[in-house]
Amino acid sequence: MSMHTLLQYNWSTMTPEFIILITALILSLADLWMPNDKNRRPLAWIAVVGVVLALIATAGLIPAKPVSILYDTFHLDSFSKAFKLLMLAGGMLCLLLALDYRPKEGLLHRGEFYYLLLCALLGAMIMASSGDLITMFVGLELLSVSSYILAGIRKTSAQANESALKYVINGGIATAITLFGMSYILGLTGTTNLKEMAAEVQKLADSNYQYLLALAFLMLLVGLSFKISSVPFHMWTPDVYQGAPTPVAAFLSVVSKTAGFVILLRLFIAIFAAAPAHGKDPSSLLLSMQNYIAVLAGLTMIIGNTVALRQRSVKRLFAYSSIAHAGYLLVGFAAMSWVMLDSIWFYLLAYVLMNVGAFAVIQRIADEADSDDISHFAGLYRRNPLLAVAMGIFLLSLAGIPGTAGFIGKLNIFLGALMTEPGHYVLATVMIATTVISYVYYFGVFVQIFFRPAGEAASVKLPVGLAITVVLCALGTLLFGIVPSLAYHVLAQFQHFGDFLQ
Amino acid sequence: MNGTYFLSLLIFSPLLGMILLAFVPKTQERTIKLFGFLSTLPPLLLSLFAFWEYLRGYHLEHLAEKHDWVRLADFPFLTESTYLIRYELNIDGFSLVMIVLTSLLATLAAAASIHIKKEWKGYFLLFLLLEIGMLGVFAAGNMILFFIFLEMTLVPMFFLVGKWGGFDRERAAYSYLLYNGLGSAILLIVILVLFARAGTSNLALLKEMLYNPVAQAQLIAPISGEMRLWLFVALLIAFGIKLPIVPFHRWMLRVHVEAPPSIVMLHAGVLLKIGAYGLIRFGIGLFPDQFRHFAFWIAVLGVINLLYGAFLAFVQKEFKMVLAYSSVSHMGIILIGLGALNEAGMQGAIFQAVSHGLIAAFMFLLVSILYERTNTTTIDRLGGLAKVMPLTAGCLLAGAMASLGLPGMSGFISEFTAFLGLFQTKPVVAAIGTLGIIMAAAYLLRAVLNMTFGPSMREDVQALDMSTVEAVPVFVLLALIVAVGVYPYMLAKPLQAAIEMMLNGLGG
């Protein structure tokens, strides 16, 4: 590649990525040159500013036509723009949490903490834009490896060490399975480029290779279920959420999950929707494998919601809640309706707001008490009424009660599941039933906050980063619940991701 | 009168009170209670005004409101209004009567909230939120909006029961939440199946699309006969939980016993009626054929409710439990009326919804007064009330009479018309059902006479009769109960058009 070809690429399409990269570089250099005893906290503000700039840059790119650069390995289409917006918003909120993260034992590598978070964010963004298996995998690993370190960054805590170890091992296995699945597709098509693959798999109609393709599909589904923490690779979630620093748990539950869905959707729609199903059936391989996704979605919802009932630890509770939400999102995917991408995007938007908000409150309560037992929430209403009300909004939204963004998100996913012909009634019923089950544990937190007397009388004060997060999330959750058309206007800009496959 | 925004104003007027309340310091008990009470007045005045205008011939269609809210799917091949959820409100005579009932009972319950002992501010904020939800349910013009308002009642009720209730309040709150959550969830599936297939959840449009062959072509996906049957069964279960129909009634007993009496007034008076309202609006409105198909079984369910509730009410030792089972029993009469499939039955069912709302609220108002003074509601421990609290005891007796259907009281009209209807179409079922009326006389008189005239067990208690503040709502309700009983035309007239329309749907 000569200098000339390198320069003629439309590099501006990567502006958001460059901003994040440069911010991460600045932070790492600053961390290197700063004296050891100097407070690293201002670095977090630089990180926040960087992410906000990237967010603005991404928003500025919305009207741009779909572009593909670097030999089709980097796409900037409506899909990547929409999901990058979510990731950046989630990343910014998590950084605000990280800003005020003060564990009891102190945090040694505070500078690293921030730029690793940015690197993970960068990996997620690359996944959103990748048009090639290699870029996709590089993005995935950039996100994963940074997350492994982040999960174990509390070096002196035994629990954090255990959780990081579990995370690495589980992640390694999941990656191996994903790679195994990818290798099948590579072997069948001889290319790593998604577009070329789509053309190649079409030629596989009525051949025995289709079984290999189906096998690849299942491998990928199982492997990628790790990132979205759905069944069967969900077991790491409660341990890691409990042991990891709270901002990292929030990051994993929000940005990492979004990235997981991004790669899942991109890969499956690009390759398997193009592949014809076996026999004379005109539908695609993806449609014929629909039921497998549906089964995973059902199991994820049932396991997540029922196991959550037994949790005393709030972080574990939210880990199972996050598993359950992965199940709801998978329903949107399994339904394969017209509104599939829209409904998943909106749900993730709601999820980013309500979950980061809830984690902000958890961080304030659990990290101060150095224990995440649910009883520490007792009497929060007396200790800080506004914080209690904000947490109430997040919980209602997570439970899907009207007036909140979570309700509109669920409504849309339901609609998607029921508008296809034939409708996915079983899946919709499972989703409804598990939603009612989820009331029990979400309202259990309510009972602690509003009904139980406070153990300690001291009122709860919020540090600035947490306060901004809680306010932003609570307002967003209510705003998108009451005036959801605001978000739908943004979606209308993307025209239902019509350029997704071009 | 000018109709624009009238309904929105009516529904959301308690919001103003909530905002004002938010600024009152939370220790100011008297101010908060006064504000809370005053905040329930605007919806009452507005609804009474609308009722008055309607009686004088105002067309309620002028009150309809419609604004686009959110469009869930926007594709070039769909029409402009497909998958569009509108904020649309409209009412007819039936919903107007329910709205008047709601706002009236809310005002009276706010007056009865004088006995609330802690956290007055939180209580009234939730109370007013509950009122907004209840009013909205009856004015909602489409099913999704109906559902949203319905869920708006769920959360405040959970807190009102769980925080201000009796000893076992949290369990009662949970069973309320889970049973009703499940009911709402089933309802949501029905709503969304219809919405997904028709592209709209507007009641009038849905009716059109389901039964007009021309409009049927606009359906996005067909709604087959078998699917309609399942949808109707799901609706029956969903509203059966709220009503409650017998196997699903346990939550309601707990709420009746544990919730603060002022909240039970609203619960028994309005929230239970939402089940009946939904069943009539959606069950008959959207699935008349299926309803006709199931009419016999609905009547049978009604009789089971009536007898089961009556028998169990007879053996209760706790007065609240007697009233709770009596509510179960009286909900049976609504089902009996609906199952009759004729004008008298339908009228009886709706009359019963209103009449039981008044009577249940009346009884629980008295319970709150009794409990305040004696700290018990056990029948055996309340003997000899007539001596120490003659006024309360007299009212209790009057309430019992109304409840067992003494002519001249509202209970009589509703039971009479409901049974009249059923005797026309299903005489055998009706004959068995009449047993319930006799049982009602037995259990109510047993309980009330024991309490008023039985041997006095509570000489240690300084029982004072009700104060003026307490007496006003009591007598307002009593007056209404008698008024409906003596002059039922007051209700029959506004309901007439709505009942006729439903019967047209049922085909005769």
Q: pLDDT tens per residue, chain B (508 residues)?
A: 556 789 999 999 999 999 999 888 888 888 999 999 999 999 999 999 999 999 888 888 888 888 888 888 777 777 777 888 889 998 988 999 999 999 999 999 999 888 888 888 889 999 999 999 999 999 998 999 999 999 999 999 999 999 898 888 889 999 999 999 999 999 999 999 999 888 888 888 888 888 877 777 777 777 888 889 999 999 999 999 998 888 888 899 999 999 999 999 999 999 999 999 999 989 888 898 899 989 999 999 999 999 999 999 989 988 999 999 999 999 999 999 999 888 899 999 999 999 999 999 999 999 888 888 888 888 888 877 887 888 888 999 999 999 988 888 888 989 999 999 999 998 999 999 999 888 999 999 889 888 888 777 655 556 678 888 888 899 999 999 999 999 988 888 888 888 888 888 776 5
The verdict on a CB contact (< 8 Å) between B148 and A484 is no
The verdict on a CB contact (< 8 Å) between A415 and B73 is yes
- Residue of chain A whose Cα is closest to the Cα of B68: A485
In the three-class reduction of DSSP (H, G, I as helix; E, B as strand; rest coil), residue A77 is classed as coil
The verdict on a CB contact (< 8 Å) between A401 and B154 is yes
Residue entry with tokens 């940005």: A255
Q: How far apart are CA B403 and CA B358, in angstroms?
A: 10
Mutate to test the interface with A, among B192, B223, B248, B251 (most CBs of A within 10 A): B192
Q: Does A440 touch chain B (CB under 8 A)?
A: yes
What average pLDDT does the segment A201-218 reach? 80
Residue entry with tokens 């705003």: A479
Q: How far apart are CA A348 and CA A254, in angstroms?
A: 8
Mutate to test the interface with B, among A434, A440, A447 (most CBs of B within 10 A): A447
A421: chain B residues, CB-CB within 8 Å: 221
Q: Does A496 touch chain B (CB under 8 A)?
A: yes
Residue A404's φ and ψ, nearest 5 degrees, are -125, 160
- Residue of chain B whose Cα is closest to the Cα of A413: B72
Q: How far apart are CA A296 and CA A430, in angstroms?
A: 12
Q: Does A66 touch chain B (CB under 8 A)?
A: no
Q: How confident is the model at residue A206 (pLDDT cuts 50, 70, 90)?
A: low
The verdict on a CB contact (< 8 Å) between A432 and B188 is yes
Residue A138's φ and ψ, nearest 5 degrees, are -60, -45
B182: chain A residues, CB-CB within 8 Å: 433, 436
The verdict on a CB contact (< 8 Å) between A440 and B75 is no
Contact partners, residue A15, CB within 8 Å, separation at least 6: A54, A57, A60, A61
Query: What per-residue confidence (pLDDT) applies to B459?
Result: 59
Residue entry with tokens 């007299």: B394
Q: How many CA atoms lie within 13 A of A140 on its CB side?
A: 26
The verdict on a CB contact (< 8 Å) between A401 and B151 is yes
In the three-class reduction of DSSP (H, G, I as helix; E, B as strand; rest coil), residue B287 is classed as coil
- Residue of chain A whose Cα is closest to the Cα of B175: A440
The verdict on a CB contact (< 8 Å) between A450 and B159 is yes
Q: Does B154 touch chain A (CB under 8 A)?
A: yes
> Which of A379-391 are b and which e, b meaning 16 or more Cβ less than 10 Å from the residue's Cβ?
bbbbbbeebbebb
B162: chain A residues, CB-CB within 8 Å: 447, 450-451
Q: Taking the domains of chain B in order of start, what are their residue ranges?
A: 5-506
The verdict on a CB contact (< 8 Å) between A488 and B74 is yes
**What DSSP line would sit under A338-383, residue for residue?**
TTHHHHHHHHHHHHHHHHHHHHHHHHHHHHHHT--BGGGGTTHHHH
In the three-class reduction of DSSP (H, G, I as helix; E, B as strand; rest coil), residue B71 is classed as strand
B74: chain A residues, CB-CB within 8 Å: 488, 492, 496
Q: Does B186 touch chain A (CB under 8 A)?
A: yes
Tokens of A122: 């960068």
Q: How far apart are CA A425 and CA A402, in angstroms?
A: 22
Residue A350's φ and ψ, nearest 5 degrees, are -60, -40
In this complex, the residue of A339, A433, A451 whose CB is nearest that of residue B73 is: A339
Q: How far apart are CA B166 and CA B168, in angstroms?
A: 6
Q: How far apart are CA A162 and CA A309, in angstroms?
A: 24
Contact partners, residue A416, CB within 8 Å, separation at least 6: A331, A332, A335, A337, A338, A339, A340, A343
Q: Is the ipTM of this complex over 0.95?
A: no
Query: What per-residue confidence (pLDDT) applies to B2?
Result: 58
Q: How far is A135 from chain B (nearest CA, A)?
A: 32
A496: chain B residues, CB-CB within 8 Å: 74-75
Query: What per-residue confidence (pLDDT) applies to A501?
Result: 59
Q: Which long-range contacts (CB under 8 A, 24 or more apart) does B250-254 make?
A: B250/B175, B250/B179, B251/B172, B251/B175, B251/B176, B251/B178, B251/B179, B251/B180, B252/B324, B252/B327, B252/B328, B253/B321, B253/B324, B253/B325, B253/B328, B254/B168, B254/B171, B254/B172, B254/B175, B254/B176
The reported pTM is: 0.92
- Residue of chain A whose Cα is closest to the Cα of B133: A402
Q: Does B72 touch chain A (CB under 8 A)?
A: yes
Q: How many CA atoms lie within 13 A of B281 on its CB side?
A: 26
Q: How far apart are CA B397 and CA B147, in angstroms?
A: 38
Q: How far is A167 from chain B (nearest CA, A)?
A: 35
Q: How far apart are CA A42 and CA A107, in angstroms?
A: 15
Query: What per-residue confidence (pLDDT) applies to A303?
Result: 92
Q: Does A428 touch chain B (CB under 8 A)?
A: yes
Q: Does A250 touch chain B (CB under 8 A)?
A: no
The verdict on a CB contact (< 8 Å) between B185 and A342 is no
Residues of A (319-378) whose Cβ lies below 8 Å from B: 338-339, 342
State the count of interchain CB pairs (< 8 A) between A and B. 93
The verdict on a CB contact (< 8 Å) between A440 and B178 is yes
What average pLDDT does the segment A405-419 reach? 90
Query: What per-residue confidence (pLDDT) applies to B1?
Result: 55
Q: Are A131 and A72 in contact (CB under 8 A)?
A: yes
CA distances from B28 to A247, A457, B21, B100 (A): 41, 22, 11, 30
The verdict on a CB contact (< 8 Å) between A423 and B196 is yes
